[in-house]
Amino acid sequence: MRILARSHQLPTRLAAGAFLLNSGLTKRAADRQTAEGLHGMAAGTYPFLADQDPEQFTRRLSIAEVALGTALLVPVVPSLVAGAGLTAFAGGLVGLYLKTPGMRQEGSLRPTQQGITVAKDVWLLAIGLGLVMEELTKD
């Protein structure tokens, strides 16, 4: 088995991968109320999601998080591929933070108490961008 991730990339890939895998596995058992909350927040920011059934949306989100978490944890998945997936996913999460009312202090990027749980996703975006940028600029 050929390892495609570089050794210095493993700590960030493992941290992000474990976080996403856990999040996805947790969502697999989400009840109706939790699914409605997740869907409502996402659909409020991204209106094209409004027509989806909340439980189906949450199942799909769970599958995406498990797949992405696994891709980050398995070092044979190229860092460019894993990083691009993480960048896209985290970009959506950061978009939730920036566009959802009440997540940020007025006139600022600083989070409110409610926004802290979403604002921390900026580190996922940074990890994804770092992986992509390194792979695109390596000699």
| Distance (Å, whole) CA 132 – CA 135 | 5
Confidence category of residue 2, pLDDT binned at 50, 70, 90: low
Helices (H), 29-121: 32-45, 54-73, 79-99, 116-119
In this prediction, residues 64-76 reach a mean pLDDT of 96
| Distance (Å, whole) CA 4 – CA 45 | 36
In this prediction, residue 3 carries a pLDDT of 64
